[in-house]
Structure 1
Amino acid sequence: MSKKLDFSLEFFPPATAEGVEKLRAVRSELAVLGPDFFSVTYGAGGSTRDRTLQVVREIREAGIEAAPHLSCIGATQQSIRDHLAEFRSMGVKRIVALRGDLPSGMADPGEFRYASELVGFIRQETGDEFFLEVASYPEVHPQARSYDADVRAFANKVQAGANSSITQYFYNADAYFSFVDAARKAGVTIPIVPGIMPIASFSKLARFSESCGAEIPQWMRRRFEGFGDDAEAIRAFGLDVVTRLCEQLISGGAPSLHFYTLNQAGMTRELVHRLGLAK
């Protein structure tokens, strides 16, 4: 029997005690599917540092690989060293290395300007101790000067020592395949893993997509708008859309899939089962 495609799952650190308990239940429910690892996001300027570390600690205590996000905007070299020491103490072997967003009101970006500088610094400090994931943007980072400049920025992160990449979510498979082709022409050889966003609420997705530069195809937008407030129809259509997208990506050679769970179990669990990825 052929090996099932790997997949990974992303969580964000909850801000409330209720959210912490809910995430524990969600993690337990999704862990039985056999993901390759759980990643945990990190707020702008390290604003969720302690909560991120707590979630990572609990994941590691459950015997699952955890990949904390680490952003460098607003950071110092010493603060990054401190993070790496904490990760090492928890047995973390994988890090998602990001530039991150400058928090509102903060003018100083700190000692790092780009994710490539963070990747290079981690390699300088720790050699090959950590497996480093970086971000990539099939539909172009919203702050990039051009498509080609964005591909070059991605290649710089890889040259600095990245092992793999997770993309921003998208709903156009051709955008992903075109980006992979452009990256390969730029000399990038690492895996480029599609980021998958399940669709539970179209209104929330539309707002978020505007801020992060992800495109919602017009035909999708019109279909969702046609459902009005019918939450069940939106959920069913969203599952079908994302299932077809994942099938296209898998058949086209995607190395694995990374699901943005939004700390919810149902949609991601359904997608993993539909795609036959559960271990």
Structure 2
Amino acid sequence: MKTCDLFAKKTVFSFEVFPPKKDMPVETVFSTLTELSKLSPDFISVTCGAGGQGGTRTVEVASRIKKLGCETAAHLPCINLDQNDVRSILQELKKEGIENILALRGDRTPDIEPKHDFAHASDLISFIRQETGDDFNIIGACYPEGHQAAKNLQADIDALKIKVEAGASELISQLFFDNACFYSFLEKTEKAGIHVPIEAGIMPVTNKKQIERMVTLCGASLPLKFQKILTKYGHDNVALRDAGIAYAIDQIVDLLANGVDGVHIYTMNSPYVAERITSAVKTLL
């Protein structure tokens, strides 16, 4: 099933997971997938792991999700791939019955020389469309506060429109902690003529190092309310986890009340966190 078809029927609610590290058996994540699938998300997306180097493990994990009766989307970062690499992955995805791809440029890995077939995610999207027609539903990433590599937010929205025109039929946002930033972003995308569904990406904070790392990577701003939570509970992992879950729930309730197209939870492979949030908001979906 193509996840883009869900938005006409309901508010979409989805999860993200990552594959295990290379030195761990892929089966180590299977119990997590089982627990997450029991929560009945509309789909579960699978990253390529740290630095986008998950390789075939992304397909393995996505295939497992399909076998659990849950729809899935495979991340496909292209910075380290050439056209033949992508063709091979597309064939593998088709073989496993996976119809949804989150097409990304990906982050540069310091010790790997990037390839040059795909300079931008929009190049990858165009290539997938040219190679496969409408066989795949292509999801794009978007950045409510602008991608760090973009000159400014408007330039990033202009690039986002190119992604959509290339063939992305839905978007998932980078994490954010200030809903006002997301609503402002939606207004700007509407003015730019971007009319595909946009899911809001929400990351429940479970430890201080995690959020400091993510903010460094993606540049998300931290509202004063959130900073106070970090200051007050940052020394206590359990308290911060519970406060982070509560903050995420508040964000989601506000987003749903304002008619958001969907909510995508960055679960960090934690069924406990996903279950707490799902239980709190499922009657609102």
TM-score bracket for the superposition, by shorter chain length: over 0.9
- For the pair 1:171 / 2:153, whether they are aligned, the reply is no
8 A contact 2:82–2:115 mirrored in 1? no
1:132 maps to what in 2? 138
Distance 2:272 2:38 in 1: 13
2:159 maps to what in 1? 153
2:280 maps to what in 1? 274
Alignment of 1:1-279 (within 5 A): 5-15=11-21, 20-43=26-49, 47-276=53-282
CA 1:277 to 1:51, structure 2 compared with 1: closer, same or farther past 3 Å?
A: farther
1:218 shift after superposition: 2.7
CA 1:185 to 1:262, structure 2 compared with 1: closer, same or farther past 3 Å?
A: same
Amino acid at match of 1:220: F
Q: Deviations over 1:103-144 (max 9, x none)?
A: 213344320100011111111111111111110000111111
Amino acid at match of 2:282: G
Q: Deviations over 1:189-237 (max 9, x none)?
A: 0001001101111232122212221122133112321224222321222
8 A contact 1:44–1:102 mirrored in 2? no
8 A contact 1:155–1:186 mirrored in 2? yes
**Please, which runs of 5 or more residues in structure 2 have no aligned partner?**
1-8
- 2:194 counterpart SS class: coil
Amino acid at match of 2:175: Y
Name the Cα RMSD after superposition. 2.0
Distance 1:215 1:236 in 2: 21
8 A contact 1:7–1:256 mirrored in 2? yes
CA 1:46 to 1:275, structure 2 compared with 1: closer, same or farther past 3 Å?
A: closer
Amino acid at match of 2:89: H
8 A contact 2:18–2:47 mirrored in 1? yes
1:48 shift after superposition: 1.3
8 A contact 1:44–1:103 mirrored in 2? no
CA 1:191 to 1:4, structure 2 compared with 1: closer, same or farther past 3 Å?
A: closer
**Larger displacement relative to structure 2 (232-241 or 181-190):** 232-241
CA 1:268 to 1:16, structure 2 compared with 1: closer, same or farther past 3 Å?
A: same
Amino acid at match of 2:217: S
Q: Deviations over 1:127-173 (max 9, x none)?
A: 11111111000011111111110110111100101010000010111
**Please, which runs of 5 or more residues in structure 1 have no aligned partner?**
none
CA 1:122 to 1:270, structure 2 compared with 1: closer, same or farther past 3 Å?
A: same
8 A contact 2:19–2:57 mirrored in 1? yes
